[in-house]
Chain A
Amino acid sequence: MATSVLEHAPAIHQEKSGLWSWITTVDHKRIGILYGTTAFIFFLIGGIEALIMRLQLMRPDNHLVSAEAFNSLFTMHGTTMIFLGVMPLSAMFFNYFIPLHIGARDVAFPRLNAFSYWVFLLGGLFINFSFLLNAAPNAGWFGYANLTERTYSPGLNTDFWVLGLQILGIASMAAAINFFVTIVNLRAPGMKMLRMPMFVWMSFITQILLLLAFPVITVALVFLMMDRHFGSHFFLPEGGGDPVLWQHLFWIFGHPEVYILILPAFGIVSEVLPVFSRKPLFGYTAMVFSGAFIAFLGFGVWSHHMFATGMGPIADSFFAISTMLIAVPTGVKIFNWLGTIWGGSLQFKTPLYFALGMVAMFIIGGLSGVMHSSPPADLQQTDSYFVVAHFHYVLFGGSIFGLTAGAYYWFPKMFGRMLNETIGKAHFWLMLIGFNLTFFPMHFLGLNGMPRRVYTYAAGSNFEFWNRIETWGALLLAFSLLLFVYNVVSTMRKPKTAPADPWKGATLEWLIPSPPQEFNFADVPPVNSSTPAWDLRRAGGGQLPEPKRVSGAGIHLPSPSIWPVVTACGVLGVIGSILFTHMKGWFVITLCGAAVLLFGIYRWAFEPPFPEEH
């Protein structure tokens, strides 16, 4: 750089601050932070719901909470953790890092991105608002018909659940279209598909799953809503309908949904392990194809959730085999991770701890999954605490540990400060021990006859011992999360001194300042492999210069906009109006919502996305 440029250097680009700038932001990084903060709060709420359940189950015949309250707790715990916890936590990373990983300035549709966040927030608030009316959903996170029909669930509880999920579905669909197009269309020159970071690949496959799975649950929820409000009999046997149809439609969505929950964590682990082993991901192509195969096959296993429904031996056999088959590409991934760390030079920082913890815990969850894949054996395991153990090992041990690894790994990039290593390691060990204490004994309880979703159990069943241990484990787990919160809060008080590349990362985000400037890259470096930052570091003799912050003059950034928020409110109005069908003139609310929706869409469509050029 010429000295004359330095003397007359324009002021460094400053981002706007203040509440309004956050409400109207269309910057993927800010939207990512919004997603992450909101999701973490919902995650804590879901955790409190779990703790109350664990306290209730500590003793037989306990009366800490009523049966109804307990049923709402497990319903909301599941719904919250899945739709308001893990999915938006993954979305935080999709938002922040997909554009950085592919060398783009933002996602393909920044306003649509903001819209997704606001719809998510409104949907999460909507469904939790039910608590204030003492009408929290209480029929399980998978809401089996015909229990969820008006006959057996007359209150607003199930309506909050059905409508809340529809609202959240719109958020997910909009985001999925956005990220799909971004990955397909906005890659930097040289960033071929088979050079993308594995996180982007897994996220890409996740978006495809979202796009194909959510329409199916949308239809199922529409049918249930029609049954409850407009007199149809889609799932009502007295009208010729079949409750099993709900299960089929739900699980055709539900099984891909669990891959939606785990694949981003797989992607994060595939980023962290190479960096902290100082060698590339083992079997990049195998990882891509196994991920794609899991997604494809994931649409062919859904009835393994229905082995006890009496589908008949041919259906049972088909789904048993397809379920066993899906274990193969999953195993391939685990072995490739082992291959990555084998022969490496392991740098034991907190992200690596969590990534290794994820692999170790997911192996256990995967093995109990294989046990479930055999229908006759599953007839003992399904609907017992054994399956509760299984899915917590894959969802907490898998997704949450993976997402936590991502949090520690990417925190310096996002917030410009390094989290405390000692507290991080304490968090890891306490979380690992607490997690295993809570969930491993559930395998025993399930095999020894404790069904799931029971608000209490008889003293003579002898379930008390392990339940007690599990409750202490859960408290330890909760404490470890407090350590994490403390780590984050105390770190945010420090100045932003993190370097651009604290971990010697392989991918593009480490080449820009921490945190990045609003426009991400001033110039995208050449991409000739899947490890562009390592290539540059190698070319520089093992060193990478600290990138400077620049003015960003002349870079076009999309304008902030309020229309995504307005449109999101319209969505809430239209869908939420169905809560009021028991009132005369309820349709007026729908029309008002539709008016706001259309107004928002029109203003959005006719608003120039960039400031008018002069």
Chain B
Amino acid sequence: MIKRPGSLRRLLVGLTALSLLLLVASCAHNYPQTTLLPRGDFGRMVDKLFRTTVFWAAIVFVLVEGALLVAIFKFRGRPDDPEPRQVHGNTGLEVVWTMIPAFILVMIAVPTIKTIFKTSSYAEGDVVNVEVIGHQWWWEFRYPDLGVVTANEMHVPVNRTVNLRMTSADVIHSFWVPQFAGKRDLFPKKHNPLWFKAEVTGTFTGQCAEFCGEQHGRMGFVLQVQPQEEFDAWAASQRVGSPLVNAGRVDSTQMPARDAAADSLEKAGQAAFNAGGCIACHAMTGTALAGVLAAKGPNLTHVGSRSTIVGGMLQNTPENLARWLSNPDSVKSGVLMILPRKLTSQEITTLVAYLRSHR
């Protein structure tokens, strides 16, 4: 049989696996949503487990596919060749090639079980608690201890464990921010745990990972990892007008000062917000649903502060807001935001200003 000495082969295999991983990982820099460059503790734990499986898989791959290729070349025959030795089997070999895979699997099973127990429950201690509620096709994030209610953009402080408690308002969704953690499903009327500690700051994207209907492909979110002070500032500003604080009521001293011209534009926007039917589904400070938590659509009290709109699909610019407001269904077909009537372009202009002023 063609075989090199065992240790040399192992070295070669290990190097192959490592280099393959490095190759793929280095390319991974190009992928904002990659799992291969984990930036958080959960992600690193599962990545380590993944690399263990890849290591063993690479060994098996090289050995078995190698044997196949060797056999194909070594035993090429011609029709008039003599009949080869009629071997029926070998019990010893059967035992060996049952035991060796079983051994390899034990090598994978042990760290697997350990990691399962570490990652299955809620985190405790000094954590940032976030409730995640999945909707068709947007994400609601509530910070019960901080009184924040927001949508589609989650801010977390760096180097602190974030403890997610996740449920769905309608069908099964799955929360996946690959750079930091594996995914977990969101079920209606049930809660599922997920935690992670982000170890670098920056802006990251995640997506829904369980088919949830027409626009499953556009149910994304943004994860903003910030230094603690910036996070605290963000939370403080998001508290203003939050349904969890004072039923969404805000007194004028809490709002930043505005000049008269902008003020009248925004008042017109607020009128349009009421007249256009937005108040039926969107909680917004100073309007009918201000303190409502279970509104059908995202809370818009601080929509101006978000970097994206429409479930992470569009940048939060005046043009995109206008495009969305003029015909949501043409942007994201099947969307449940069905306007009672088409908005006039004047209404849209004022609305855009109104929404963008709510940072």
Contact = CB atoms under 8 A, between A and B. Distances in A.
B237 to A, nearest CB: 27
Contact of B108 (A71, A374, A455): A374
Contact of B89 (A283, A367, A378): A283
Contacts of B207: 449, 451, 454
Interface stretch (A115-123, A166-174, A318-326): A318-326
Q: Which has the most chain B C-beta neighbours within 10 Å: A66, A140, A342, A374?
A: A374
Contact of A71 (B81, B171, B214): B214
Contacts of B109: 320-321, 324
B258 interface: no
Contact of A334 (B64, B87, B217): B64
Q: Which has the most chain A C-beta neighbours within 10 Å: B36, B188, B205, B216?
A: B216
A376 B119 contact: yes
Contacts of A313: 116-117, 120-121
A460 B98 contact: no
Given A277-B84, A279-B86, A453-B216, A345 B187 contact: no
A215 B21 CA distance: 44
B294 to A, nearest CB: 14
A334 B101 CA distance: 12
B224 interface: no
A371 interface: yes
B94 A312 contact: no
A460 B34 CA distance: 12
Given A147-B171, A285-B89, A383-B210, A370 B183 contact: no
Interface SS of chain A: helix, strand, loop or mixed?
A: helix
Q: Which has the most chain A C-beta neighbours within 10 Å: B53, B67, B119?
A: B53
B277 interface: no
B76 A346 contact: yes
B32 interface: yes
B174 interface: yes
Given A316-B120, A453-B216, A343 B75 contact: yes
Interface string A276-299: 011110111110000000000000
Contact of A317 (B101, B113, B172, B182): B113
B88 interface: yes
A356 interface: yes
Interface string A498-519: 0000000000000000000000
A463 B27 CA distance: 12
Contact of B97 (A66, A67, A332): A332
Interface string A355-394: 0100110011001101101111111101110000000000
B347 to A, nearest CB: 28
A455 B218 CA distance: 9
Interface string B281-303: 00000000000000000000000
A604 interface: no
Interface stretch (B3-11, B42-50, B318-326): B42-50
A448 B79 contact: no
A339 B84 contact: no
B202 interface: no
A20 interface: no
B88 A284 contact: yes
B83 A451 contact: no
B127 interface: no
Given A453-B217, A454-B217, A379 B46 contact: yes
A547 to B, nearest CB: 21
Given A144-B211, A460-B32, A379 B184 contact: yes
Contacts of A345: 75, 77-78, 81-84
A338 interface: yes
A86 interface: no
B333 A279 contact: no
A447 B94 CA distance: 35
A483 interface: no
Contact of B217 (A67, A140, A328, A356): A67
Given A68-B214, A341-B72, A370-B108, A450 B182 contact: no
A300 interface: no
Contacts of A453: 211, 216-217
Contacts of A331: 97-98, 101
A380 B183 contact: yes
Nearest to B176: A451
Interface residues of B, number: 96
A12 B117 CA distance: 72
A152 interface: yes
B16 interface: no
A238 B72 CA distance: 60
A335 interface: yes
Nearest to A332: B98
Interface in B174-214: 174, 176, 178-179, 181-185, 187-190, 192-193, 205, 207-214
A360 to B, nearest CB: 6
Interface in A222-250: 237-238, 243-244
Contacts of B117: 313, 317
A373 B115 CA distance: 13
B72 A346 contact: yes
A370 B88 contact: no
A356 B178 CA distance: 36
A310 interface: yes
A348 B77 CA distance: 8
Interface stretch (B54-62, B149-157, B267-275): B54-62
Contacts of B190: 237
B218 to A, nearest CB: 8
Nearest to A460: B32
A371 B30 contact: no
B168 to A, nearest CB: 9
Contacts of B108: 324, 370, 373-374
Q: Which has the most chain A C-beta neighbours within 10 Å: B61, B81, B112, B333?
A: B112
A344 interface: yes
Contacts of A279: 83-87
B32 A462 contact: yes
A277 B75 contact: yes
B61 A363 contact: yes
B144 interface: no
Interface in B124-146: 136
Given A237-B189, A356-B68, A449-B32, A376 B112 contact: yes
Contacts of B313: 458
Nearest to B115: A376
Interface string A258-284: 000000000000000000011110111
B28 interface: yes
Nearest to A367: B57
A377 B93 CA distance: 32
B227 interface: no
A68 B188 CA distance: 23
B105 interface: yes
Interface string B65-77: 1011001100111
Contact of A342 (B75, B116, B121): B75
B35 A448 contact: yes
A343 B187 CA distance: 55
A153 to B, nearest CB: 8
Interface string A436-450: 000000001001111
Of all A-B residue pairs in the complex, the 4 with the closest CB atoms, nearest first, are A379-B182, A449-B33, A345-B77, A454-B217
30 contacts: A67-B215, A71-B211, A140-B211, A144-B171, A147-B172, A278-B77, A278-B83, A279-B84, A310-B120, A316-B116, A316-B120, A331-B98, A336-B94, A338-B71, A339-B89, A341-B75, A346-B72, A360-B65, A364-B61, A370-B57, A371-B57, A379-B181, A380-B46, A380-B50, A447-B24, A449-B32, A451-B208, A458-B220, A458-B313, A462-B31
Given A146-B171, A316-B116, A451-B176, 18 more contacts: A71-B213, A139-B211, A146-B188, A147-B211, A147-B212, A237-B189, A237-B190, A309-B185, A339-B90, A342-B67, A347-B77, A360-B65, A363-B61, A379-B119, A380-B46, A380-B182, A449-B32, A462-B32
